Structure 1
């Protein structure tokens, strides 16, 4: 909401003009220092995962038993491994970088496809109403009633533990929050005067949805997308920890945590590396999501 400034005329009598300041532009980068750090960390992490063969100092699956359980050279250990090695002599830094490939792929791909599917279904339900709305929203209610872990166990038992299977399971599950939000926001948009005016001049179907609905609901959906990314990374790590994720020898953060359970008191760095990686990535995604929430809030700070 802009503020109108009245400029008095000569002698302080009638106003000559009204000066309306230009609306503030949305900042591309966050003001908050913590959000900048989180965004920078995510960019570095994604780039490191993409260019893992060039960034990782060692082959993540190379086993050097003579260097097994080597302490991190960062803390005075020997062997030249910055974050140490695991029980098979594999470099933990390299495995953490390659593990980021799996986590970021699952997080971003699953959240993106779930967002597209959920948004389309939510907008269709909110716009067409009637039987279409009832079928879509009752399906959402049914899926919400089932615990995800049991469904994941059943699917993995039938189709096997594969990256593609894990992504499909997450997509078919994570579209629910997007559908709920898109449905509610679409109902708000179709009740506005400018939408009724667009209908009055003959706009219908996909055109009116793409031009008058989607741009007005995109902000909250992007915010939800960031939180779904974080949740997908946590779910992937949890399933890998239970042995239901990407099978070995592919490096995953959850798999690294699972293999390190027997070395908590003798080689603390083995569980520390993947644990810190999961924590920092999820925390950074949530911080960026909070910043986006404030940025897209019409009553919040820009």
Structure 2
């Protein structure tokens, strides 16, 4: 009998396919969660009864009348949970988008202008990177005062240096490419090079990294509200309600569990959405390689 030889590439390809399938499924779950949270943030306060209304039933458990129970003031936890999604989602997305836009602008400008201006921008970025993002956000919120605008600005500014450093490195790698040198020799201005070559080539990895910052920003917003630096009572917020529920954890677990699950779902959705974006944009795969080859003029194949 002849020995059967199994190609080692077959099980490896099968494992790779399974990994890709699991990654694609996780990305879709993240997309569904993210869309659901956005809908909840938009419609939750409209669907919920008054989240600040007090009743006589203090610390009553989940029931038909109160799906998530009541808190120590007799307020409906489900109503507060519905209304509390909006601050977290709004702060997370707006601060992350602001950080991506400002950070990318600073990084690209620093890479393009070089000289003293570039050094000044990047040294300022390095100083900000020396501080933990949450600590920097806390300091900014303490200086600006409590409230959603303050924590949005604080968190956004705290994550600008990470985006700026990443955009700076990516832009530098593009600016030293042969096709950019050819564009300069052909008479293209710096603005044209940035618009046609630099920004399109760094957009995909920046967007993918930006989606992960959404999750960090949401977690930072919940933390700041937990510490009392965000919304003012009795405004519903998952972070603030977590702090309140911690005082009654053994008596009324529902006061902490449901806001905690909401925060976890929000952060998880952003992380999975980042995987979905990385897979869809294909920043390291063959489609991305073909885009870079077309941009550099080195791609083969039929014309």
Shift of 1:142: 0.7
Instruction: Tell me, in whole angstroms, the C-alpha distance in 2 between the residues paired with 1:217 and 1:149.
Output: 26
- Is the contact between residue 133 and residue 159 of structure 2 (CA under 8 Å) also seen in structure 1? no
Instruction: Tell me, in whole angstroms, the C-alpha distance in 1 between the residues paired with 2:195 and 2:206.
Output: 15
Match of 2:163? 178
Is 2:253 aligned against 1:268?
yes
SS in 2 for 1:60: coil
Shift of 1:44: 1.3
Match of 1:41? 33
Give me the TM-score of the superposition, normalised by structure 1: 0.82
Is 2:227 aligned against 1:235?
no
Instruction: Tell me, in whole angstroms, the C-alpha distance in 2 between the residues paired with 1:175 and 1:156.
Output: 15
47, 61, 67: which one aligns with 1:55? 47
In structure 1, the gaps of 5 or more residues are 1-29
Shift of 1:246: 1.5
Instruction: Tell me, in whole angstroms, the C-alpha distance in 1 between the residues paired with 2:257 and 2:276.
Output: 28
In structure 2, the gaps of 5 or more residues are 1-21, 288-303
Match of 2:110? 125
Shift of 1:149: 4.7
Instruction: Tell me, in whole angstroms, the C-alpha distance in 2 between the residues paired with 1:152 and 1:217.
Output: 27
SS in 2 for 1:32: helix
Shift of 1:53: 3.5
Q: How many residues align?
A: 266
More helix by share: 2
203, 212, 216: which one aligns with 2:188? 203
Give me the TM-score of the superposition, normalised by structure 2: 0.82
- Is the contact between residue 295 and residue 301 of structure 1 (CA under 8 Å) also seen in structure 2? no
Instruction: Tell me, in whole angstroms, the C-alpha distance in 1 between the residues paired with 2:112 and 2:141.
Output: 36
Higher relative contact order (CA 8 A, sep 6+): 2
Tell me the C-alpha RMSD between the 2 structures.
Answer: 1.9
